[in-house]
Amino acid sequence: MSDCVAVVRGIPHIPSVTEVNVRSGPGTNFDVAFTVPVGMDSLRILDVTPDAEEKAKDGKIYQWFKLTFHGGAVGYIRDDLLDIVGDCTDQGYGVYNERTFVFTVTRAGADAPLPVPSRPVTNVFGLERVRRAAFAITHIFEGKGYPAYQNYDTGIVSYGRFQFTLSSGSLGTVIRRYLERSITPVADMLRNEYLPRILARDPALRDDLRLRDLLVTAAEEDVMRVVQNEVATEAYWDRMLSISAAPRGIQLPLSLALLFDIAINFGVMHGLITRAEAELNVPLRGRVGDTGISEQELISKVAEIRKLSHDRQAERDNLPGLKVRGDFWVNLIANDDWALNGDANGDILVKGRPVQVRSPAEF
């Protein structure tokens, strides 16, 4: 079965609509970047994201498809304007031999109520220890820590330990919360000169060197570091636990660390676990053990699928460095360190750097 692709369906019952808007982000509150004609097909899907404002129809939250268009442009179209065809399990959908109206099918984990777990994710290994270890591992792959800054991709401005982006609004969340607590001169300048533009996701900020310098300097403050970790915990760690881990009874430290890394890298609603479940021929979102497979078997398959995704992208885009992240998790699983204890000193090597996982610090 071929990879999943999208087709612009438009609004069939209104034939006068011959073009649809492509937006700069996952919501109608984002600018219209350009328009494309109804019928454009073979559009590669980069990501699928719930509506930024949680807008819904008939109780179903809209999903926004991040697509690559003919000529290389990238933008977002809502699921009620698209058909999909092919193997769409990576995106959280099914396998479709014919064009299928996206809005009529439910994405795994997007709208269905989560089953109530019979037991919470256990704290037997120390969940706070595992969170800190997971954060320490993932930030090595994401960049250069709290002051990390880049402006060369669709995020417009990406900043911090986990590359919070201007385009998604996560940078605005970090800055707003930081300004609620800091009274330093740097905070005052960000508040007076940039806060409205950051919250408006102004694309002109991409090349603003003063903003860059203020952000980098703000990262020297403990309050900024606390805020970055808070936002990452709430937006990624906590959601990973409730959406991916708890319903399935996943609780081993290595498993949780891997799922957090995937949530940061692919988004919380990534679909890799449901694809693994499909390949293992077990019920979607079933509890490990009850489904006939162990947690280790499920997570090993997730890591394998994730590695293949990185490997394909590395080959396609001639970016061999992308393979390192997938290889790391596959190798960690091969070492059977499910408790995430590390070596004799409590360290594991991430891109050649020792990371303390047995007694990890918060910062």
This prediction's pTM: 0.66
- Chain-wide mean pLDDT for the chain? 90
Q: For the chain, how many structural domains are there in total? A: 3
Q: Please name which of 179, 235, 6 lies closest in space to residue 100, comparing C-alpha atoms.
A: 6
In a domain, residue 25? The reply is: yes
Residue 223 domain-assigned (yes or no): no
Domain-located, residue 44: yes
CA angle (262 as vertex; 86, 249 as ends), nearest 5: 95
pLDDT in tens, 83-133: 999 888 888 888 888 899 999 888 875 544 333 333 344 343 489 999 999
Q: For helices 222-232 and 170-179, what crossing angle results, to 10°?
A: 140
Whether the per-residue pLDDT at 219 is higher than 70: the answer is yes
The parent domain of residue 60 ranges over 5-104
Residues 177 and 132 in one domain: no
- Mean local confidence (pLDDT), 318-338: 93
Residue 204 lies in a domain: yes
Task: CATH number of the domain at 32, please.
Answer: 2.30.30.40
Q: Is the pLDDT of residue 138 over 70?
A: yes
Flag whether 152 is in a domain: no
Instruction: Tell whether 325 and 352 lie within a shared domain.
Output: yes
Evaluate whether residue 112 is within a structural domain: no
Per residue in 266-310, pLDDT (tens digit) is 888 888 999 999 999 999 999 999 999 999 999 999 999 999 998
Separation between Cα atoms, residue 100 and residue 85, nearest integer Å: 6
Question: Among 120-124, 193-197, 327-331, where is mean pLDDT lowest?
Answer: 120-124
Encode pLDDT of 28-77 as tens digits.
Answer: 888 888 899 999 999 999 999 998 877 888 778 889 999 998 878 899 99
